[in-house]
C-alpha cells in the first residue's frame, strides 16, 4: 500500500477530490504527486503498461562446454594440458545462454548463479543493443556448398536471424524493454552501469523510460555513434536527410560509478602515396624500388622520396602497403591520444565480419568496455546478436555472460568464440572456458506448473488444462487444426496427422511405437511428430520400422520461439525436420578418430519462407526433400532448375566431437525453500566440445575427419554434434570398442 504523504491540502483541493471520488471520476495527474510520496517524478506511459516484474528462478541446463581449442596433434588423455601454450584460466566459466532474456535475467538475479556472480565482484557493465521497433525482420546470408575450382563464391540462401515482433506503435516494444531493463538494473553491482544502444525512432521514449527506471540523477551521457560508413543520397521524395548517427544511453545504478578510461588512441591515417606501378611504363630515373618481390617504378613527374632500405623497413613495419591496384600507400600511426567526449563518430558503429545483421563493431565495443570496466570484471550482453560483446571481452580479459533468444545467434557466437580461443592459444595467451546453457525443459515446466504442487489435485487439473492450451498453441504455430478422436494424434495439417510429444521430457521409442500402432489400426499413413527433444539413438531404425508398416513419419523440432505468442500469431515460427548422422570410427594403436560419412535432412519448402517471385524473369530458392533448388526463368520465359546442395556435406556448417561422452554428468544448481544452494544430477551428460570443424568467412572448407585422440579404455561412448546451415543441431552417440 502506498503511503500517504503528510502534507496540507487546501480546502478547495479537498472538496474537489471528494467530489471527483463520489462521481467515480479519475483524479487529475497533479494529485498523484501531492498524495503519494513515492510517485515517480519522471515516467513514460503506454497502452497496457505493466509494472509487475517476473521473479522466477529456473535452473540452467548445461548443453555444451568448450574447455580448450582443438589441437591438430594427437590429443593426450583428458586432463593433460600444455601449460606452455596457454590454457583455461581457473575459476569463472563464461556463459553463453540460449533463451528469452526476461527469464534468463530473472534466473540470474534470483537463482543460484547470483552467488557465483557476486563472488566475482558483481556485474560491472551491461551492454545491450535490442532490436529496434521498426517492424523489420532481419535475415542472414547462409552459404550453400563449397567453392569450386574456379573460386566461384558459394550460392547464398537467406535465413532469418531474428524476427522483429514489436509493433510499430511501440507499446509492446517499450513494455518488453521496461520489464527486462528493470531486472537488469537490479542485477548490476552498485557501481555498475548500463549502456543501451537505440536509434532515432524510439530513442526519446526509451530515454524517458530509463530516467524512470534508474532515476534522473543516474543518467551519465548520451553518446553519438556512427550509423553508416558514409552519408548516402537523401530521400528527396520524402524530403528527409540520411540518418547518420545512433545513440548510446549510459545510466549508472548509483553515484559510485565512474568512467575508467577516457583516453583513446587516434587511428592510423594514410599520410600519402606513391603512384608507382609494377611494369616498365614509367621512367627509370630515379631508380625503381623492389617491395615484397614486386618491382615498382615511379610514374612521370613523381619520384620515390626514400631509399630502398628505408622503404623495405617501412613495409616491414606496416607503414608502407601495396594496395589492390598495385600502388604504394604510406601510413603513419597517430601518436597523440584523444580525450573522450560524447561524439564517437571517429569509429564505425557497425561491422559485417560474421554477416550477421546489425553487427556491432569491435572498435565500438572495445571503447565501451575499456571506459566502463577493468580487467577481470564481469560484463553482460542480453541481446547478444553476433557475439561482438563476448568476443571483445575475451580479447580484453573480461569475464562475460551473453544471451539471446535466437538459436542462430548462439551458433554464430560459439564459432566466433572458438576462433578467438584458437588465436589466443596460437599466441600463447590464456583464455577462459565457456559453457552453452539454456532454460529448456525448466521453462516449459514453469509455463505449465507456475510453482504448483503436483500432489494438489485441483492444481494438477489446472496444469492439465494448461497443457491442453499449450498443445493448442503448438498446433496454431504449426498451422494445424486440433482433433480429439485419437489417443496419440492431436491435430491435422492438410493430408498429414500431427502428434505432439511430451512437454517435459524426450520423445521415446515407446511413444513412437504407440503412434505406429494407432496408425496401423486406423489405416493412417502420414504423421508429423513434433517434439522438443528426442531419445538418443531413435533414428533411423524407428523410421524403417514405420516404413515397413506403410507409415511415413516425419520428425519435427519444436522451436523455442513457441513461447513468443506474437511470433505464433504472425505465423513466423518455423519447424525444422530432425536430421540423421552417419559416422565411422577409425581405430589404430589405442588412438581413435571420427569420420563423418553422411548427414541427411528432410526439409521441404513448407518449412522455409520464400518471398521472392519469379515474375517475368528472375529466380527463387525452394527446398524439396532435403535439397535446396534454385528455380530461374530467363527473359524468354524458359525455366531451369539447379540443385545447390549437390553433396550431403553442403548442409553442414559445423560439427564437433566429444571423445568420452558421459564422463561429465550434468549437475544443476537451484535454491531450496531455505534459500540454500542445492545440486542435483539431471540424469544427462554435458557434451564436451573437444574437436570441431566449421565454415567461416575466410574458410568455407569443411574437414570431414577429426584428429586422433588417445584412449586408454576398452570401450567409450563418443558423441558427435552436427549443426546445419540454418543453425539446427543434431547429436548422435555411439559405443566404440577398442
**Arithmetic mean of pLDDT, 294-306:** 71
CB atoms near residue 601 (< 10 Å): 24
C-alpha span between 218 and 192 (Å, rounded): 11
Q: Which of 653, 86, 690, 188 is CA-nearest to residue 401? A: 188
Please tell me whether residues 217 and 275 are part of one structural domain: no
CB 311 within 8 A of CB 276: no
Tell whether 592 and 631 lie within a shared domain: yes
Please tell me the total count of domains within the chain. Answer: 4
Point out which residues pair with 556 in neighbouring strands: 530, 577
Q: Are 193 and 251 in contact (CB under 8 A)?
A: yes
Which residues, in sequence order, are CB contacts of 417 under 8 Å at separation 6+? 66, 94, 96, 387, 390, 391, 394, 434
Let me know if residue 181 belongs to a domain. yes
Sequence-separated (6 or more) residues with CB below 8 Å from residue 657: 594, 690, 691, 692, 706, 709, 718, 719, 720
* Residue 342 CB neighbours (<10 A): 13
> Tens digit of pLDDT for each residue in 611-655?
445 666 667 777 777 777 777 777 777 888 888 788 899 889 999
- Residue-by-residue DSSP string for 367-433: HHHHHH--TT-EEEESS-TTTHHHHHHHHTT-EEEEEES-HHHHHHHHHHHHHHHHHHHHTT--B--
Give burial (CB, 10 Å; 0-12/13-18/19+) of 639: exposed
| Whether residues 114 and 223 fall in one domain | yes
- Residue 501 lies inside a defined structural domain of this protein: yes
Tens of pLDDT, residue by residue over 193-248, are 999 999 988 899 999 999 999 999 999 999 999 886 544 444 555 557 788 899 99
Average pLDDT over the chain, rounded to an integer: 79
H or E element that contains 440: helix 440-449
In a domain, 39, yes or no: no
Tell me the per-residue pLDDT of 144-185, one tens digit each, with 9 for 90 and over.
655 432 233 334 444 444 455 555 566 778 888 999 999 999
Residue 88 lies in a domain: yes
Q: Which of 489, 500, 494, 472 is nearest to 523 (CA)?
A: 489
Is 518 found in the same domain as 625?
no
The residue behind cell 552498485 is: 190
415 or 504, which is more confident: 415
DSSP string, 652-678: EEEEEEETTTTSSEEEEEEE-TTS-EE
Q: What is the DSSP letter of 153?
A: P
- What value does the mean pLDDT take over residues 547-573? 80
Query: Are 418 and 448 in the same domain?
Result: no
CA of residue 456 relative to chain centroid, distance: 39
Residues 508 and 520 in one domain: yes
Residue 56 pLDDT class (50, 70, 90 cuts): confident
Give residue 78's pLDDT band: very low, low, confident or very high (50, 70, 90).
Answer: very low
**pLDDT at 251 (0 to 100):** 97
Other Cβ atoms less than 10 A from the Cβ of 298: the count is: 22
Residue 81 has a pLDDT of: 36
C-alpha cell belonging to residue 194 = 548500463
The domain boundary, picked from 377, 412, 438, lies at 438
Give 605's DSSP letter: G
Pairing outcome for strands 665-671 and 677-685? antiparallel
Structural domain contains residue 316: yes
Asked whether 323 and 264 are in contact (CB, 8 A), the reply is no
Centre a 10 Å sphere on the Cβ of residue 322 and count the other Cβ atoms it contains: 16
Q: Are 31 and 17 in contact (CB under 8 A)?
A: yes
CATH number at residue 225: 3.40.50.150
In a domain, residue 47? The reply is: no
Position 79 pLDDT exceeds 50: no
The answer on 398 and 501 residing in a single domain is: no
C-alpha cell at 687: 557434451
Neighbouring C-beta atoms of residue 290, cutoff 10 Å: 12
Tell me how far apart the alpha carbons of residues 378 and 416 are, in angstroms, rounded to a whole number. Answer: 19
Assigned domain for 141 exists:
no
**What pLDDT, on a 0 to 100 scale, did the predictor assign at position 301?**
60
Confidence of residue 666 (pLDDT cuts 50, 70, 90): confident
Residue 433 shares a structural domain with residue 381: yes
Quick one: pLDDT at residue 517? 93
Looking at the structure, tell me whether residues 530 and 543 fall in a common domain: yes
CA–CA dist 665, 670 (Å, integer): 16
Residue ending a domain, among 403, 438, 473, is: 438
The pLDDT of residue 664 is 86
List the end-to-end C-alpha distance of the chain, in Å, as a whole number.
70
Residue 450: strand, helix, or coil:
coil
For residue 168, the 8-state DSSP code is: T
In this structure, the answer to whether residues 426 and 458 fall within a common structural domain is no
Last residue of a domain, one of 438, 462, 494: 438
Range of the domain at 112: 61-133+168-265+337-438
Q: What is the CATH number of the domain that holds 476?
A: 3.40.1350
- Look up cell 584428429; give the residue: 707
The per-residue b/e assignment along 359-383, b for 16 or more CB within 10 angstroms, e otherwise, is bbbbbbbbbbbbbbbeeebbbbbbb
Does one domain contain both 224 and 322? no
Residues 369 and 461 in one domain: no
Tell me, yes or no, whether 83 lies in a domain: yes
Amino acid at each position: 500500500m502506498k503511503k500517504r504523504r503528510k502534507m496540507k491540502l487546501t480546502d478547495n483541493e479537498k472538496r474537489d477530490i471528494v467530489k471527483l471520488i463520489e462521481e467515480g471520476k479519475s483524479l487529475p495527474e497533479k494529485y498523484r504527486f501531492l498524495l503519494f510520496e513515492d510517485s515517480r517524478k519522471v515516467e513514460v506511459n503506454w497502452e497496457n503498461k505493466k509494472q509487475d516484474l517476473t521473479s522466477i528462478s529456473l535452473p540452467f541446463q548445461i548443453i555444451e562446454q568448450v574447455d580448450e581449442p582443438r589441437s591438430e596433434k594427437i590429443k593426450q588423455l583428458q586432463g593433460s594440458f600444455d601449460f606452455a601454450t596457454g590454457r583455461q584460466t581457473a575459476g569463472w566459466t563464461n556463459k553463453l545462454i540460449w533463451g528469452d532474456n526476461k527469464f534468463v535475467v530473472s534466473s540470474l538475479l534470483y537463482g543460484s548463479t547470483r552467488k557465483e556472480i557476486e563472488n566475482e565482484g558483481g556485474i560491472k557493465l551491461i551492454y545491450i543493443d535490442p532490436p529496434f521497433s521498426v517492424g523489420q525482420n532481419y535475415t542472414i546470408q547462409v552459404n550453400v556448398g563449397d567453392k569450386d575450382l574456379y573460386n566461384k563464391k558459394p550460392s547464398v540462401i537467406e535465413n532469418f536471424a531474428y524476427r522483429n515482433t514489436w509493433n510499430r506503435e511501440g507499446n509492446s516494444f517499450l513494455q518488453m524493454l521496461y520489464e527486462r531493463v528493470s531486472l537488469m538494473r537490479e542485477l548490476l553491482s552498485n557501481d555498475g552501469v548500463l549502456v543501451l544502444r537505440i536509434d532515432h525512432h524510439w530513442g526519446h521514449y526509451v530515454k524517458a523510460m530509463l530516467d524512470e527506471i534508474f532515476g534522473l540523477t543516474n543518467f551519465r551521457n548520451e553518446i553519438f555513434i556512427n550509423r553508416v560508413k558514409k552519408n548516402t543520397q537523401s530521400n528527396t521524395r520524402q524530403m528527409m536527410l540520411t540518418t547518420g548517427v545512433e545513440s548510446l544511453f549510459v545510466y549508472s545504478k548509483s553515484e559510485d560509478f565512474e568512467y575508467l578510461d577516457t583516453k583513446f588512441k587516434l587511428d592510423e591515417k594514410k599520410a600519402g602515396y606513391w603512384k608507382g606501378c609494377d611494369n616498365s611504363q614509367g621512367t627509370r630515373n630515379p631508380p625503381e624500388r623492389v617491395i615484397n618481390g614486386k618491382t615498382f617504378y615511379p610514374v612521370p613527374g613523381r619520384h620515390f622520396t626514400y631509399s630502398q632500405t628505408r622503404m623495405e623497413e617501412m613495409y616491414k613495419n606496416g607503414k608502407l602497403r601495396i594496395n589492390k591496384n598495385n600502388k604504394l600507400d604510406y601510413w603513419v600511426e597517430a601518436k597523440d591520444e584523444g580525450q573522450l567526449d560524447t561524439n564517437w563518430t571517429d569509429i564505425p558503429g557497425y561491422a559485417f565480419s560474421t554477416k550477421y545483421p546489425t553487427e556491432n563493431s569491435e572498435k565500438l565495443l572495445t571503447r565501451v568496455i575499456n571506459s566502463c570496466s577493468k580487467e577481470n570484471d564481469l560484463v553482460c550482453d542480453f541481446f547478444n546478436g553476433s557475439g561482438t560483446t563476448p568476443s571483445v571481452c575475451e580479447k580484453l580479459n573480461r569475464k562475460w555472460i551473453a544471451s539471446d533468444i535466437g538459436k542462430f545467434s548462439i551458433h554464430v557466437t560459439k564459432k566466433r568464440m572458438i576462433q578467438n580461443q584458437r588465436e589466443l592459444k596460437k599466441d600463447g595467451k590464456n583464455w577462459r572456458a565457456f559453457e552453452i546453457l539454456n532454460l529448456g525443459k525448466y521453462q516449459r515446466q514453469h509455463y505449465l506448473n507456475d510453482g504448483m504442487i503436483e500432489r494438489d489435485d485441483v492444481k494438477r487439473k489446472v496444469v492439465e488444462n494448461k497443457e491442453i492450451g499449450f498443445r493448442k498453441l503448438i498446433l496454431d504455430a504449426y498451422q494445424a487444426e486440433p482433433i480429439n478422436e485419437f489417443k496419440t494424434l492431436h491435430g491435422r495439417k492438410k493430408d498429414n496427422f500431427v502428434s505432439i510429444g511430451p512437454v517435459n521430457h524426450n520423445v521415446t521409442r515407446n511413444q513412437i511405437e504407440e503412434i505406429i500402432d494407432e496408425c496401423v489400426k486406423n489405416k493412417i499413413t502420414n504423421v508429423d511428430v513434433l517434439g522438443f527433444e528426442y531419445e538418443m539413438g531413435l533414428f533411423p531404425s524407428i523410421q524403417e520400422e514405420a516404413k515397413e508398416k506403410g507409415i511415413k513419419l516425419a520428425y519435427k523440432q519444436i522451436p523455442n520461439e513457441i513461447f513468443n505468442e506474437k511470433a505464433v500469431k504472425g505465423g513466423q515460427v518455423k519447424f525444422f525436420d530432425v536430421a540423421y548422422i552417419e559416422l565411422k570410427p577409425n581405430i589404430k594403436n589405442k588412438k581413435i578418430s571420427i569420420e563423418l560419412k553422411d548427414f541427411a535432412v528432410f526439409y521441404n519448402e513448407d518449412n522455409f519462407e520464400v518471398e521472392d517471385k519469379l515474375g517475368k524473369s528472375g529466380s527463387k530458392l525452394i527446398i524439396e526433400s532435403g535439397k535446396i533448388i534454385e528455380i530461374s526463368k530467363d527473359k524468354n520465359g524458359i525455366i531451369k532448375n539447379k540443385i545447390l546442395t549437390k553433396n550431403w556435406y553442403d548442409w553442414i556448417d559445423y560439427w564437433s566431437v566429444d571423445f568420452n561422452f558421459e564422463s561429465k554428468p550434468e549437475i544443476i544448481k537451484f535454491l531450496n525453500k531455505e534459500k540454500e544452494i542445492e545440486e542435483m544430477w539431471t540424469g544427462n551428460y554435458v557434451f564436451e566440445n573437444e574437436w570441431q570443424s566449421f565454415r567461416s568467412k575466410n574458410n568455407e572448407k569443411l574437414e570431414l575427419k577429426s584428429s586422433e585422440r588417445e584412449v586408454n579404455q576398452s570401450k567409450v561412448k563418443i558423441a558427435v554434434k552436427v549443426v546445419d546451415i540454418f543453425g539446427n543441431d543434431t547429436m548422435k552417440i555411439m559405443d566404440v570398442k577398442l
